Structure 1
């Protein structure tokens, strides 16, 4: 493969190669520039990657400023600085990453995208590389995608038993559209992959069109959008429908053309899974109507909508119990005369500490005959929302349940559900 060299480089990294120590041992930038030896920069990048994988970071940000180079990790959805180095090191780091990801090292005026496959600290990791010109040199963001898809299981995503059972029933239906909604970074793609893994039993032809492919799943035909050659979601979806599929996953419904093909595919006997950027489940209905999908087509094709967010989980080793305040009782809908025990991050921990990992909070609305009639008749979002609450709790309600269970904080749930 194109990244064999990169894989060998990181495979050879010792566990004791501490990031800060490697950075401190870097030779002077002037010596690095004059030398043909890339080893110090390679060791620094290896240490950054290994540290990021150990911390379960989702992204590495490499940011040059006027007098310094800053490296930050996004861990559990929050950015934290892990290293500052000399400004002159930045172009050397960026050039080496470009070599590893097969990008044009001479092109510094335009954004570029690439990919590296690595084995870091014993784990196979795909790295998506994105460069962006800035006033002080190129910024680079590395998105780390753990290729170990074994954790892509519906039972590991934090759904309660009822939601998981309903979702399981929906994805085993022979046809219809299932939508997963939420803002960027709310775990929609992970949920879709987990759903595909659940039904990937060699009895169905499952095909996807994605932008980009984040995880490769054995037994599923995955295609990637490529706008340079006009391979759009709509074009890919049309082609997939000529490949005798049973199940189709479209990374995102971005326009009317894709939406209409998805609807027609579901009406002709295919199960279609996709995502939309809306805050609530019923908001997906409004968004598709606003795009121009006819209500009678929508009502006959949609079978379920799952809205979701990710909240940080409290670290069981450090979380602190306390009695809920009157305000917290009012938010939780409990009697302040008998306040429940909640948990929080203790004082004295720095930002980001006190949490370990994330879980989903969900609102799943199965489309029954009543809501189908309402969609067909053009019911407004508030009316649909009122009826949806009779079918399932809201996304905030699911979050509040996790607060009462001691899994997360009220602050976390309110942070990710404020716009709902």
Structure 2
């Protein structure tokens, strides 16, 4: 097709679709905005419809007009052109034969586009015509399928020989395969990247899949919206949720097995403006726990916790915000305690990990099995050690402390900013001070701090303000992460834990039972050195170059 001496304006005038003055007006506008093609300007002005434009071009150039919605796209052919080039020139390869690439275009007179395609592919370019909007929609859909295939392939390569299966799967037909493969690839990628959560978020023009890695959300995949509902439906079916109900939130779970390791995936959907958002959280059911070092716990902190657990009765609380690793620390403690000749029972929401020799019970609010109801029932099961997943209300808190006083070791979690605040929190929940004083053995406040990526770690000169905040006037150098492909350009890779451990002694018990101000407890532990504050721990990590000033400031803001 020789087109270099053909002008679109002449074609439309000869076809009787536009007048000379309309053409001149469009040409004048094009001089102002050179990024727009003449045909697009004429359509925008309303001088010609897109169908008329394509019909005139088709007749004059002897080029076929295609309805891409009814045309199968060869993904291998489409993949020869990068997606950004396809969007830039509004075109999509649809097939190839004998070194000829068939490309659907909106403007066959765009010589620069055709020449770029020749250079990129080293192939002859055969043009067919299609409407702009249909081409754009086809680009989104086609490259989504290409990316889904790439994602599945990449996920399978992340761990050599990686395989995924569903413990309780459903029968699928051949037509479901693309969505099934997409869900599998997303789960594999999330697991292999070390993600704790997978977010599937619908927006006006696209669906974005993001992963939470080391506490940060990173983009993973962008999908065309026409795949969104099928993707959500597949996850709902796996989770035994109602696929027809899109108006209310739903929660479910399913089990997967990756490389022989079984894990629970908790799913949660919620309706948004553009459709249902889905979050999947990985709960590793049978992964062994690293008792001494999983959270960077030093020997001193570890020994303090061991000493607390020597008592046959009392309450030990693990405190911190959501996502600070409280439950995993509890599991670590339980697995260690299970080596004794004791009966251990738990009430959890949800059960995140299967522990040997431990009786674990799942909260079921619909059936009336709440934390307090479950705790009462456990007390009739002759337990030595009880774990309550979370102390959420006055009833649960009261039963827990009374259980401790009557001879049980109770472990639970609270949401407080630091260890000492747990005392105030229990009193605010209505537990009498004398019960708190007599039952509480210790409190462990915990945070997860992001570590600077070792691949892009760089030094810089510490400012006077930074020296003052860290309490180190002689400090000269601090560290940060520039961001690289290893850390998804976040500057961080991995996390470590810091702890603030409050062991309850006689003096603290007296202060609690006498209802003394909480400041008195703070002053006592500070003067005696019985507690190393979280702020001091993260400051040490910052000075040593393990974490950044950004993390120090974030934690300092939270605990103050």
TM surpasses 0.5? yes
- Summarize deviations over 1:140-195 as a string: whole Å, max 9, x none: 10001223431352432122221111011112321100011111111111111111
Whole-Å Cα distance in 1 between the matches of residues 224 and 269 of structure 2? 19
Match of 1:377 in 2: 514
Contact 1:181 1:307 in 2 (8 A): yes
Q: Where does residue 399 of structure 1 map in the other structure?
A: 538
- In structure 2, stretches of 5+ residues that fail to align are 1-143, 152-172
Q: How many residues were matched structurally?
A: 392
Residue matched to 1:346: 482
Determine if contact 1:127/1:142 at 8 Å carries over to the other structure: yes
Contact 2:483 2:489 in 1 (8 A): no
Is the contact between residue 131 and residue 139 of structure 1 (CA under 8 Å) also seen in structure 2? yes
> Cα RMSD over matched residues?
2.0
2:484/2:491 contact within 8 Å kept: no
Mark the CA change 1:146 to 1:131 in structure 2 (over 3 Å): closer, same or farther: same
Summarize the alignment of residues 8-407 of structure 1 with structure 2, pairs less than 5 Å apart: 21-23=146-148, 37-335=175-473, 338-346=474-482, 352-389=489-526, 390-407=529-546
Structure 1: runs of 5 or more not aligned: 1-18, 27-34
Q: Does the 8 Å CA contact 1:78/1:352 hold for their aligned counterparts?
A: no
**Deviation (angstroms), 1:348:** 7.0
SS at 1:310's partner residue?
Answer: strand
Question: Is the 1:312–1:355 Cα contact (8 Å) retained in structure 2?
Answer: yes
TM-score, normalising length: structure 2: 0.67
Shift of residue 307 of structure 1? 0.9
Q: Deviations over 1:180-227 (max 9, x none)?
A: 111111111111111111211151111110111111111111101111
SS in 2 for 1:38: helix
TM-score (norm 1): 0.89
Question: Matched residues in 1 for 2:302 and 2:145: separation?
Answer: 43
Post-superposition shift, 1:288? Answer: 0.7
Name the stretch that deviates more: 323-332 or 266-275.
323-332
Say which SS state the counterpart of residue 362 (structure 1) adopts: strand
Distance 2:264 2:484 in 1: 36
Q: Which residue of 1 aligns with 2:59?
A: none
Match of 2:22 in 1: none
Shift, 1:102, TM fit: 1.6
Q: Which moved more, 1:230-239 or 1:124-133?
A: 124-133
Rg larger in structure:
2
Any conservation in 2 of the 1:314–1:408 contact (CA below 8 Å)? yes
Displacement of 1:361 in angstroms is: 1.4
Higher RCO (CA 8 Å, separation ≥ 6 residues): 1
Residue 342 of structure 1 and its aligned partner are, at CA, apart by 2.7
Matches of 1:340 and 1:377 in 2, distance apart?
47
What's the CA shift for 1:110?
2.2
In structure 2, the residue matched to 1:4 is: none
| Structure 1 residues 131 and 291, CA gap change in structure 2 (3 angstroms) | same
What is the CA–CA distance in structure 2 between the aligned matches of 1:40 and 1:81, rounded to whole Å? 21
CA distance in 1, matches of 2:357, 2:489: 38
**2:292–2:302 contact (8 Å) kept in structure 1:** yes
Give, in whole Å, the separation in 2 of the partners of 1:79 and 1:369.
Answer: 45
Supply the distance in 1 between the matched residues of 2:375 and 2:422 (Cα, whole angstroms): 20
Relative to structure 2, which stretch is displaced further, 93-102 or 350-359? 350-359
Structure 1 distance, partners of 2:317, 2:355, is 20
2:286–2:354: 8 Å Cα contact kept in structure 1? no
In structure 2, the CA distance between the partners of 1:98 and 1:165, relative to structure 1 (3 Å rule), is same
Residues 294-336 of structure 1, C-alpha deviations (whole Å, 9 max, x = no match): 111110100101111111112223211334222221112112x
CA contact (8 A) 1:149 1:217 kept: no
Q: For residues 306 and 352 of structure 1, what CA distance do their matches in structure 2 show?
A: 33
Q: Are the aligned partners of 1:64 and 1:139 in contact in 2 as well (CA < 8 Å)?
A: yes
